[in-house]
Structure formats: C-alpha cells, structure tokens
Amino acid sequence: MADDWTIEDSTQGPLAPGTLIGPYRIESQLGEGGMGTVYRALDTKLNRPVAIKVLSDHLSDAAARRRFQREAQMASSLNHPHILTVHDVGEYQGRQYLVTEFVDGGTLRDWAKAEKRTWRQIVELLTGVADGLAAAHGAGILHRDIKPANVLVAKNGYAKLADFGLAKLAETGDGPTRTLAEEHTRPGTVIGTIAYMSPEQASGKTLDARSDVFSFGVVLYELLAGRRPFAGATELEVLQTIIHGAPQPLGEEIPPALRTLVEKALEKDPADRYQSMREMVVDLRRLTRERVETTQPSVASAPRSVFPWKWAAKAVLLLLVAGAAWRFWPGAGARQIRSIAVLPLDNFSRDPDQEFFADGMTEQLIADLSQIGSLRVISRTSVMQYKGKRPSLPEIAKGLNVDAVVEGSVLRVGDRVRITAQLLQAATDKHLWAESYDRDVRDVLALQAEVARNIAAQVQITLTPQEQVLLGNQRRVDPEVFQLYLKGRYFYNQATEDPIRKGIEYFEQAIAKDASYAPAYAGEAFAYASLASIFAPPKDVMPKAKAAAEKALQLDDTLSEAHTALAFVKMMFDWDWAGTEKELKRAIELNPNSAEAHDLYGNYFTALEQYPEAITESRRAHELDPLSLRIYGDLLSNLIAARQYDETIAECRKALETDSSFSTAYAVMGLAYAQKKQFPEAIAALKKANALDPNPTMQLFLAHVQAAAGNRAEAVQLLAKMEELSKHRYVCAYEIAQVHVSLGDNNKAMQWLEKGRREQCDCLVWLTSEPWMDPLRVDPRYLGLVKQVGFPGK
C-alpha cells in the first residue's frame, strides 16, 4: 500500500492482529507514513480482505474530522476501475479510519523494480490510471499527490490510483494550497510530495487539474527514464529545479511521440500543458494502438534545452487551432465528414465475461448514429473485423471508405457504466473531439443517444425532427434485462447454429423478466429467421420469427430492425410482396443506414426481376457493410440474376483479392462462367468453393454446372448424395430441382419444386429470376407454381 501512512507521533501504538474495528478484524500491518498506519483486515460481514487506514492522533480535531468525512465521501463517489474503491469510514478510539478495497500487489515503484519494463508496458499500465484521474477531475476532485507510492498494482497487473483528497485533508481552511514554508509551521500537514509537485504547487499558487497533469508527467518520466526528472541535494534545490530547471531528455529508445507527450505534460506554464487529463488519455491510447518507431529523429533528443522549439510549437499550435476553426466553420472541412465508422469499443473492465457488454455498446452506438440520414454509418459486421487488431486509421479509412472514425472504451462496475468516445479524422488521424460519460446502467440507452447527438453536432449535421425524436425517445432499462438482451445479441451475431440458439435462450430470458422490452422480441425474430433453410425447416422457425417481430412492433413501431425482420418473413415465407415492400420502406425510413434493410430490398427487387433497382440497393448495402461477406455475396448473386455475367466475374475477382477464402465468390463466378459456356473455368471455380465450404448448396451448384457441362455421371452422383441427405436434414428442395432442370428432367424438377412449395422453402422467391431455371419457364406447371408463390403481374 502507499508508503505515506504512519503513526510516528501518535500517542497510541499500532493495532495488534485480531483487533476488531467494527466488523473489520485486523490481520497485519502493511505500511507506515506521516499520516497514519495502514493495515490488512478481514471484513467479517462480507468475508473479504480490505485495507484500513487509521489516522494519527494529531488529526483528531473537529475541523479535521469534518474535512476527513467530506473527503472520504468525495473519494467514495469515484466509481472507476482504476481508482481504489472506498468501502467505509468511521472512528476507532478517537481516531478516524478509512476502509478501502485490498490490492494484493505493491506500489507502482515496486512494479517498476520487479523487472525491466518496456515503454509500451508502462504506457498501457498508466493509461488506466490516467483515465481514473480524468474521471476524478470530471467530478471536480483534484488529487494533488500523484506519485508512484499512491498507485497500487495488483499481482495481475491492474493499477489503482489511491489516496484521493488526503493532501487536502491537512489544510486549515478551504483556500489555496499553502507554500512549503507554511508546511513546516504545522506538523503532519501534507500538501504534496516535493519531487512530484507542479511548479504552481511548489510556488503556493491556486491549483487546477493541470497540476495533476504535471505530476502524472513526472511519474511517467520516472518510469521511462529510471530516474526522477527534477533532482537536487536538498528539498529547496528540488523545488528550484521544478520551478526553473529542465529535465534531461528521454533516450532514443523512447518513441518520439511518447517523448513529445511527456514534454507537453511537463511544461512549466500550465497554459502550455495538456489542458485536461482527458486530452492526455487520448494521446496515451493512440500510442498503444499504433505501430511507433523509436529511431526517428526527435526534438526531444536534442541536447540543448528540454523544449528547444517551445515558441515554434506555440506557433504551430496557433496554426492547428486556425485549421480546426476552419474545419468547423460552416461550409469548410467539417462538412466533408459524411461517413463514419464506430470501431469496437475497448472493454476496460478487464473481465472477458464483459466482452458482450462492450460489443453491445458498440452495436447500440452504431444503431443510434445510423438513424441520421445524412451520415453514412458503417454496419456492425464490418467494424467488428477490427476487434482486437488496430491498423492505422488511414488504413481503416481506406478499407471502410469513411471520413471519420469513432473509437473509445466501456467501463462497467456494478450498475455504473463509463463510456469514453473520441472522434478522429480518419485519413490524417487528427483528433477532433473527445468526451466521457458516466451513468447508471439503467440510463445507458439515453447515454448512447447523447453520444450520437454530440457526434452529429461535431460534424455539423442538423438532425431532422424525426431524428431528434428517435434519438431523444430512450427509456430507462432494467440492468438485468438489458444484460440478457446484449448476451442474446452477442451469441446471435456469431451466425452459427448453436450460438444462435443460445442467443434465442437469452432473448427469451429477457422477455420473461420484462415482457414489454421490444428490442428483445426484435432480436428473437432475427435469430429465428436466420435459422431457416440453413439450420432448420422454414415451417419450424419462420412463424416464430413473425410472431416475435409483430410483438416487437406492437410494443414499439419505431424499431427499424423489427420492420426488417418482419419484411424478411413476409418475403421469404409468406410470399407477401406488397407487405414486404411496406415494411422495408418503413425500416429504411427509420434507419437509412440499415445494411440489412437495403440488402433485403435488393433481393426483393431481384425476385421481381427489377434488376437496376436491385443492383442499386445491393451496392448501397455493400457500401454500408463493406466487409460483410453475406451482403457481398448477395450483391454477386443479384448481378448474375441480372445476366451481367462479365461484371459478375469481375466483381467476384475483386472480392477474392480482398478475401481469398470467400467461397460464395468462387461459387457465383463458377455459375457465371457456366452461363457463358466456359465450363472448365466454371467447374474449377465450383470445386474451389466446395473445398472451402462443402455445404449442400455448394454441392448442388457444382452438380448443376457438371450437368450443364455434359458431365452427367458426376452430376447424378452429387445429386443422389444430396437427395439422400435430405431424408435426414433440411436441404432446399428448390436447389435440388435446379439440378434436375440442368439434367433435362422437368418432371422430377417439378416434383421437387412442389415439395418446396409445401415446405414454403425460401429459395422459391428466385423462381422467376435465376437464369438456370429458364428451360422450365414454358412448362404450364411452372406457370401455375409462379402464380401460387404470388409474384405480382404473373
């Protein structure tokens, strides 16, 4: 624990093991300093280890007690994973005591001495501490005694900032911090630790958050250099160096960007420093995200003064400010931000079991921003490709074709949630805006909507009245219900059978706890619908999907995804074409950036042979979700249905340049080659698709192409295998029928198509559009089936 707790001048001795202080039983003494003694104890009520700090006798007057109570209350209000949690406060035999969580490691100095640490390890550890300090500043609390002894590091490498407000405890009033001379007039007074003071603190001036920025910079410098930046033979010499001197530059092994960061934190003039810890946190996170070099020449390595380009830097700063003003001036650079991606929010809870919560917050922020029609927002599937890996922002900008990126973090402790978000210009990695939000988890939906509104304001987008209503109409949510819902989304998004079914279980649990929570019904609708044809017969799951979607809309007609889910059922199962378009138009009206809705609309137009509209919608969906293979596959399928075979092949090749394992691209390319009678290329592509993903659809596509190429034996062998498989699991009857068409057996083809009609198989929506069904179109039985499926105008 911190090393500044002793009872050197106390008239009472240390507490013996076994001593009870309320429900806390003393186990051992941990440390001593000028303020009192810290002990390890057992909380006998909750059976957990705690730390107890007992103050010295000289701090027992009434004024000190009032200040201690006030400061303890302030410290206990700081709910942050990187701030030591205060559990209790009280009095024992006339002395005040404070009960905090117990950290099983040593101090930051112990951590640094245990082994040689890299600059990246140091920055990663201290970034959390900096975030905690920023949270304290946001609550109006200054620490004023930042030093390695007041940072505790658990054995698992998790750091906690300790001893908030204790320096302020020793003041005789509420005025500015006193000078060092005044410190000696009263034993036990603490105004900070000299080696880590800011120049204004050392001079006795009024302090603000920038003083803590300086002290934090001293700690960071010390860990990186292995020495303190300001030294002297006496305390007076140290103070003089802090006020007037310059530290030795950090070595070349430290990246230039990190050297610059430390220099900025250690500026003598507070106006030249980081103006808030939040700004510093943003730069610290960027350092750990990027690949940085340590050999680049740097001003910091110059042997002259520590800040040889100080005035030049000020001039550059003025230019940057002018550039920022231009960017946000109406009609200037800010108006160029019309596309944005929300990168996966980092899970700062350090608990793998909370990944679902961070992912859910990412998805919710995307959903809120997507409601803004004048902003193109990249969908979840594409941004999640960057989870756990972060190339440079320019690389991300190129891959997603966006102007700006939102990144940030989520911290959840009990029922409190802290979200930090920052807006960056993607092409240049320029920081445009950052903010932190701390809320009860019940208000997290309103919090996410607030973040979305703030981002819209930063890029100077005016919300329409409908958008204002949608982003302002967020009710509170039961934390347990919300958690179950997010777990359902987490598993559903994994897109394989067992996780989807597990997701349904979580949605149902959420509904059982709150039958009025519409998003859970919408999630359940999508999950059931995604099982159809691939993992379950449509008749087993589509009615459940429809019921859930209709219930969601009954509860909340503004849920775009519920309209999309209902449109999917109406098109693929009910064959209700008018109802499908009605739901899709409403879904897109509510969420213009819904890649799912635009993708389904493209498929709808293809089914109705309206190919220009189909390609437009499919390309829009692909723009919104450029890394989604499923959506890209739908675009390829719609191109081939439009008989654009050369463009289909070119687009497939482009897709495979991005992802050589994209089996659908090989399959569609093979089908396009077959339509062009280039059968060797067609068969080669289909065999590659089957090697990557040998599912029934891929094997039936290969059988169809083999039949079209005249390789009857190979086609019949594959077809027999799939017909046998259909006796044991669901195989789409339409896809079996298409092989019979290619073999010239229209009777068997019609038998399988009739079976598909009875099963309401979703593939029947392609009955009039797919080119390999052309030989069947003159058959009267085919024309009758078309009417039964309800195609308009047929």
Is the model's pLDDT at 552 over the cut of 90? yes
- Per residue in 664-685, pLDDT (tens digit) is 999 999 999 999 999 999 999 9
What CATH number labels 106-308?
1.10.510.10
Confirm if 59 and 98 have CB atoms less than 8 A apart.
Answer: no
| Residue 155 pLDDT | 78
- Per residue in 740-749, pLDDT (tens digit) is 999 999 999 9
Q: Report the amino acid identity of residue 477.
A: V
Question: Does 274 or 165 have the greater pLDDT score?
Answer: 274
Is the model's pLDDT at 64 over the cut of 80? no
The superfamily (CATH) of domain 20-101 is Phosphorylase Kinase; domain 1 (3.30.200.20)
Confirm if 521 and 555 have CB atoms less than 8 A apart.
Answer: yes
| Residue 58 pLDDT | 58
Question: How many Å separate Cα 692 from the centre of its chain?
Answer: 31
Tokens of 490: 């987490």
Lowest mean pLDDT among 208-217, 474-483, 565-574: 474-483
Question: Does 394 or 513 have the greater pLDDT score?
Answer: 513
Is the model's pLDDT at 641 over the cut of 50? yes
DSSP class per residue in 512-574? HH-TT-HHHHHHHHHHHHHHBTTTB-HHHHHHHHHHHHHHHHHH-TT-HHHHHHHHHHIIIII
For 108, residues 6+ apart whose C-beta sits below 8 A from its C-beta are 125, 148, 149, 151, 152, 153, 159, 219, 223
Confirm if 757 and 567 have CB atoms less than 8 A apart.
Answer: no
Q: What ranges do the domains of the chain cover?
A: 20-101, 106-308, 334-476
Report the distance separating Cα 382 and Cα 397, nearest Å: 12
Averaged pLDDT, 640-665:
94
Label residue 374 by pLDDT band (50, 70, 90).
confident
- Per residue in 326-348, pLDDT (tens digit) is 333 333 344 478 889 888 888 77
Long-range contacts from 765-769, C-beta under 8 angstroms, 24+ separation: 765/571, 765/572, 765/575, 765/603, 765/607, 765/789, 766/606, 766/607, 766/641, 766/734, 767/734, 767/791, 768/607, 768/609, 768/794, 769/606, 769/607, 769/608, 769/609, 769/641
Report the distance separating Cα 551 and Cα 495, nearest Å: 23
Question: Does 455 or 67 have the greater pLDDT score?
Answer: 455
| H and E: helices and strands count for the chain | 33, 15
- Per residue in 3-34, pLDDT (tens digit) is 333 323 334 567 888 889 889 999 988 877 54
Same fold, 106-308 and 334-476: no
Report the distance separating Cα 755 and Cα 144, nearest Å: 77
Catalytic residues: 145
Averaged pLDDT, 352-365:
81
Report the distance separating Cα 356 and Cα 768, nearest Å: 42
pTM metric for this prediction: 0.63
- What residues pair up with 437 in beta bridges, in sequence order? 419
Report the distance separating Cα 74 and Cα 70, nearest Å: 6
Question: Does 289 or 324 have the greater pLDDT score?
Answer: 289
What CATH number labels 334-476?
3.40.50.10610
Confirm if 476 and 449 have CB atoms less than 8 A apart.
Answer: no
Q: Which value, in Å, is the radius of gyration of the alpha carbons in the chain?
A: 33
Q: Report the amino acid identity of residue 605.
A: F
| Residue 13 pLDDT | 66
Place of tokens 């075979």: 645
Question: Does 539 or 493 have the greater pLDDT score?
Answer: 539
